[in-house]
Structure formats: structure tokens, C-alpha cells
Amino acid sequence: MSTNVTLPGSTGLQFKNPILTASGTFGYGVEFAPYGDLTTLGGIVVKGLSLEPRAGNPMPRIAETPCGMLNAVGLQNSGVENFITEKLPKLPTEQLPVIANIYACDPAEFGELTAVLAAEEGIAAIEVNISCPNVQEGGILFGQDPQQAARVTEAVKKAAGVKPVIIKLSPNVTDITTIAKAVEGAGANVISCINTLSGMGVDIRKRKPLIANVIGGLSGPAIKPVALRCTYQVCKAVSIPVIGMGGIASAEDVLEFILVGAHAVQVGTANFLRPDFSFRLVKELEELMEQMNITDLEEYRGSLQL
Amino acid sequence: MHQEQCTTLTVLDNVPFGTVSGENLFFALRIERPEWADWQPGQFVMLRPEGWALDMMWARPFSICRVSKRDLVIFFQVVGRGTKRLATLKTGDKVVLWGPLGTPFAVEDKTPTLLLAGGIGIAPLVAYAQKHPQPWNLHMEFGHRMPLNCYPFESINERITAANHHERSPEDLAHFLDLIETSIAEYAESDGLVLACGPTPFLKAVQAFAAKHNARCQLSLENRMACGVGACLGCVTKTTEKMTAKGVAAGRAQACEHGPVFWADQIILDEE
């Protein structure tokens, strides 16, 4: 039995299994090193990086909701330079694909940020968070407009050199396939989907929003059917590989995303169930595959019968 | 070196403490002792019952209240959905637990140390009194709203001197705050140490008094947390220019990693 995943095309990306950890839920990896062997994971996507350090949003930033959570952390991070000098050297990058997730406010800044990361040998790929406003275009979200999404993709591709570029799509759109096709056309090597769903929560007694930013991103098993639908649609719409995510909390969930066509998955909010969750999931997936007599994930992938 | 572990442990018992209007709201949850090499007072654990379905995803953070050869005790008050469900834990139930986590209270053997506890904030200070090598240098002032028998106060009284103040009215609270200001001023004069844990308004008052009287003071925060290991950035507190901890950037520090115990002059509590 093999859990190996090789992404087709020119990406050169290989994972020893399809389980990656999602940005923002696994820190910079080192936080979870006491709880498992990082090199057993398919890969990790680190906390979103910006060119300059960002303080993020005021508190409270997170709230537990039924089968999930809301967050509006606001991409607090200590900046790309700090990541490269302080965090990256602590990761076993020779045995573990480390994917840098990036965030910027205009295409030029995306390019600049990518160039910094492209020079780092320890970075396996760059994942682009396009669920952010373009300050030059009146704050329209890059991820909600096919042209804007394509423009970011081009800027990142141009600066990325040989590094594969993964575009992370937002589900907060009318038709996710138009964005998917736009980024594929602009040269994206891989698509990952979905980012969080826009949501909010309120406290009826205090008459206050649950998080200071009022609106935040919903994640967790509550969004899994939406994530699965998006992954299914995107897989059908494009020919580049897709990494699915959204509410994955079991080995069965992993297979659901692979069944609809995803090459790999990312585990997010479930990492908060327990810090060794993703490490255990790798083993549980092997057990489930054995139980179901799946010897080749590639054979199983996309085999949904309609 | 990291020594945190994530393990499944058995609940030994879950004993209610006192009652409030006939209801059990305070519990001492006793769990079999994790195989820890060591732990320090002020540190905490993340705890999530194995039987919880996915409807409540987060584990809950609790200060370590007591550790013996056989057991680990955490003390909690029912305040929301999570603690309400934790109150139903029974002997033999399994919990997933990781820790010990976070930065502990400073321990200065020979320094006169004032422990200021507000309500359920007494829990980590019970641990502090239990583990301190020279407990005769400790004194506690404990303010509480619920009946005294709701809290593990008696056990602390066996080891250190402690006074309790039942706050039944705004006047009681004002009196308690006057008293702790006087105490903080005294400890500041003798270069003592002040350690506080309790609700945020209480911590803000302690912080203000400590600044006014130039007292060396640490506060233990009770921020909402999802991961407990520094990743989710949901528990951050604003920091001042005096924050020196390595890895703290952009004026915010995770309470789970750089706290929950902070030096009072290194944090700003205006968002809590």
C-alpha cells in the first residue's frame, strides 16, 4: 500500500501522504513538534506571512461555534524576514515539504514577498491567500474577482522562479469555478480550496459580537459539505491538481475529498481537537485504506460514481 | 527542552464544592497523574473529554491546582457551555490532556510574596502555596463572590496565612480593593513580590496599584484559547515596550506561550 502523492504537471511536488496541515492552524510547525514527528506529515503550510510584521486584529479574535469556530486573527505575524531567520531553520525541510502561505495588499507586494521566499531552499511551494482586499482597487477582494485573482497569480508566478505556486481560493463567491479557471489560466500550478466562509456570531445578553472584528471566518466540520462541493466543482473545472480542505476531522473525511478529485488535503481546525491530531490522522488513513482495500490513492482519486 | 505531552487519562472523580442557590457550580476534577517530569505553579493544561463530539471542538485551558504522586487536580467553575458539560464528567471517563503549558509564576524563596486571588483565580495560587519551598514567606488575600466553601480555600490556609473577603456588595468590593492597594504598597516597599490571578477587572485594579506603588507584580490571565500551544493566536494580549520575551513581535504575545503569567508592566489589558 502506498500513500505517496505526486502532484502532476511541472510542480515537482511530492508528499509521502496526502495529509498537510492548513495555514493558521499549525503555527510554524515547531509548536507541534513535541507532539509528533513532523516528518511523518505530508507537508505543512505555515501561518500566513506578510512582508512587514502585522499586529493583527483586536481581541476577542476567536469564538467556538457549533462544529466549528469563527476567527478574525487578522494575519498577525512577525514578517517574512523573521520567519526565514528564526522559524524556517528549525524545520526539518529536507524530509518535510514546507509551504509558505503569503498575504499582501497589492500585486506588487505579493511579487516582492514571493521573491524573498523563492530564494529559500527550504521552501517547497508558495500558497497564496487571495482572500484579502486589494487596497489599490478600492479594497475589492482579490479572490472574489477573476481578473484580480489572475493578476495576483501572474505577479506571484513571475517572482516564484521554479517554486510551485498554489492559489488558495475563497468560497465566498458566486461561482468558484470562474476564479479557479482564471488562476489556472494565469499560470497557477495548484489550487487549494477552501479558505474560511464569512460568518458572524453575537451574544444576545451582552448585545455584542462574539469577535471584535464582528465578521470572521468560519471553519471546522460545520463547513465540510460546502468545502466538498467547492472541491468537487473546482476539480471538474480545471486540469491542475487540487488540494481540498474545510472541516476535515477524520480519515473518512480525507477520502471524501480524494474521492471527489483532490490530490491531497489540508487539516485545519481539527488540529485544535488535540495537538497530535494530524500525526494520528496519517496512521488512521493508512488503517482505513487497508480496511477498504485501497492500495493506490491515485486509483481511488476522483472515482466518484454519479 | 519541550516536555509537553498529549495523553488520554482517566477521571478519578469530579467533586462539587459548595452550592450556589442549590446548584453545583464549582468542581474539583481529579485525574490520574500524567507522566510529567516536572511542572511549575502558574502553568496550565488543555483538557478535552474523549467523549465530546465535534459540536464542541476546543479543549479548555485550566490552571494546575494540585499535583500529587497519584493525581492531578484542576478546579473549575461552571461559566459556559464547555464547563457545564465538564461538570458531568464521572469516575472512569477519559479525557485528552496536554501540558504542562505556559510560563509559570516567579518563585523567589526568600522574598515576601503576596498572593492576590479573585474567585476561581485561587486555583493556580493553591498550587503556588503547595510547591513553594518557604511557604512562611507567602500571604494570601482572597476576594470572592460565592460562598467560601465553593473554593479550595481551606487547603491553602493549612500552609500559608490567608484572609478571605466575601464581596456581597459594591462597598465590600471597594473595601477589598483599598485593602489590596495598601498591601501592594507595603510589599513594594520591602521589594516583595505580588502575584495575582482572577477576573480581568480585578487584574486591572492590581496592575494599576502595582504601577502606582512601583511593585514587582505578575498577573495570570484567563484568555480564551483554542490550541494552547501558540498556534491559533486567539489568546494574545497587547504588550508594552518592556516585554522582553523572545519571539514576541508586533506588540502582541500569546497568553498560552508567553503567559498565562506576565509581568504586570509588560502587558496592556484594554481589550480583555
- Pick the more confident residue, A290 or B250: A290
pLDDT > 70: what percent of chain A?
99
- Residue A294, pLDDT above cutoff 90: yes
- DSSP element (H, E) containing A232: helix A224-237
- Residue A201, pLDDT above cutoff 70: yes
Q: In the predicted model, what is the mean pLDDT of residues A263-277? A: 98
- DSSP-derived letter for residue B60 is E
> What pLDDT score was predicted for residue B1?
39
Q: In the predicted model, what is the mean pLDDT of residues A8-17? A: 88
**Domain extents for chain A?**
5-300
Q: Which residues contact A22 (CB under 8 A, 6 or more apart)?
A: A45, A245, A266, A267, A268, A271
User: b/e per residue, A148-175, with b = 16+ CB within 10 A?
Assistant: bbbbbbbbbbebbeebbbbbbbbbbbee
Rounded to whole angstroms, the Cα distance separating B117 from B139 reads: 11
- Residue A233, pLDDT above cutoff 80: yes
- Set of chain B residues whose Cβ sits within 8 Å of the Cβ of A275: 6, 98, 227-229
Question: Do residues B237 and B102 lie in contact, with contact meaning Cβ atoms separated by under 8 Å?
Answer: no
Rounded to whole angstroms, the Cα distance separating A54 from A1 reads: 44
> What pLDDT score was predicted for residue B249?
67
Query: Mind telling me how many Å the CA of A277 is from chain B's nearest CA?
Result: 10
Q: What's the pLDDT tens digit per position in B237-259?
A: 999 989 887 767 668 999 999 99
Residue A211's identity, in one-letter code, is: I
User: b/e per residue, B122-140, with b = 16+ CB within 10 A?
Assistant: bbbbbbbbbbbeebebbbb
> What pLDDT score was predicted for residue A12?
85
Candidates 1.10.287.4070, 3.30.30.60, 3.20.20.70, 1.10.10.10; correct CATH number of A5-300?
Answer: 3.20.20.70
- DSSP-derived letter for residue A161 is T
Q: What's the pLDDT tens digit per position in A42-53?
A: 999 999 999 999
Rounded to whole angstroms, the Cα distance separating A271 from B58 reads: 10
Question: Do residues B83 and B107 lie in contact, with contact meaning Cβ atoms separated by under 8 Å?
Answer: no
> What pLDDT score was predicted for residue B86?
97
Select the residue from B52, B54, B94 to test the A interface by mutation, using most A Cβ atoms within 10 A. Answer: B54
Rounded to whole angstroms, the Cα distance separating A210 from B233 reads: 16
Dihedral angle, C-alpha B90, B93, B96, B102, nearest 10 °: 30
Q: What's the pLDDT tens digit per position in A71-100?
A: 999 888 989 999 999 999 999 999 999 999
Dihedral sign, CA of A151, A154, A159, A163? positive
Tell me which residue has cell 478519578.
B12
Grid cell listed for A52: 512587514
Residue A2 banded pLDDT, cuts 50, 70, 90? confident
- Which ranges of chain B have pLDDT less than 70? 1-4, 247, 249-250, 272
Q: In the predicted model, what is the mean pLDDT of residues A56-68? A: 95
Contacts A–B by Cβ distance under 8 A: 118
Dihedral angle, C-alpha A173, A175, A180, A186, nearest 10 °: -80
> What pLDDT score was predicted for residue A121?
96
State pTM to two decimals. Answer: 0.95
Please give the domain boundaries of chain B with CATH numbers for all domains. 5-101 (2.40.30.10), 113-268 (3.40.50.80)
Distance of CA B143 to the CA centre of its chain: 14
Q: In the predicted model, what is the mean pLDDT of residues A106-133? A: 94
The ipTM value here is 0.94
Orientation of helix A224-237 relative to helix A176-185, angle to 10°? 40
Give me chain A's average pLDDT, please.
95
| Residues in chain A whose Cβ is within 8 Å of chain B | 24-27, 31-35, 47, 53-56, 58-64, 66-69, 71, 73, 76-79, 82, 86, 212, 220-221, 249, 269-276
Judge whether B94 is closer than 8 Å to chain A, CB to CB: no
Rounded to whole angstroms, the Cα distance separating B143 from A199 reads: 39
Rounded to whole angstroms, the Cα distance separating B56 from B88 reads: 15
- Set of chain B residues whose Cβ sits within 8 Å of the Cβ of A66: 55
Least confident of A2-16, A126-140, A245-259: A126-140
Tell me if B6 is assigned to a ligand binding site.
no
